[in-house]
Amino acid sequence: MKERKIGEFRVGEIGFGCMNLSHAYGVPPSPEAGKSLLLEAVDLGITHFDTAALYGFGRNEELVGPALKPVRDKIMLASKCGMQGVDGARVIDGRPETMRKTLEDSLRRLETEVIDLYYLHRWDKNVPIEESVGEMSRFVEQGKVRAIGLSEVSADTLRKAHATHPIAAVQTEYSLWTRNAEIKVLDACEELDVAFVAFSPLARGFLTGIDLDPANFAEKDIRRHMPRFQEPNFSENAKLLPEFRAIADDAGCTPAQLALAWLLHKRPFIHVIPGTTSIAHLADDVAASGVELASDSMRRVEELINQTTISGPRYPAGTQKEIDTEEFTS
120 touches 136 (CB < 8 A): yes
* DSSP state letters, 70-113: GGGGGSEEEEEESEEEETTEEEE---HHHHHHHHHHHHHHHT-S
Non-local CB neighbours of 208 within 8 Å, separated by 6+ positions: 202, 255, 256, 259, 281
Helix (H, G, I), strand (E, B) or coil at 180: helix
> For residues 229 and 238, what is the distance between their CA atoms, to the nearest angstrom?
10
Q: Prior bond to 232 cis, omega within 30? A: yes
Residue 88 carries which side chain, given as an amino acid letter?
Answer: G
Catalytic residue among 25, 55, 118, 174: 55
Show the beta-strand stretches assigned E in 112-245: 115-120, 145-151, 169-173, 195-199
b/e sequence 79-91, b meaning 16+ C-beta within 10 Å: bbbbbbbeeeeee
Which of these, 68, 60, 65, 22, lies nearest to 43 by C-alpha position? 68
> For residues 56 and 66, what is the distance between their CA atoms, to the nearest angstrom?
16
CA torsion sign for 111, 66, 85, 158 is: positive
174 assigned to active site? no
Residue 171 carries which side chain, given as an amino acid letter?
Answer: Q
Which positions are annotated as active-site residues? 55
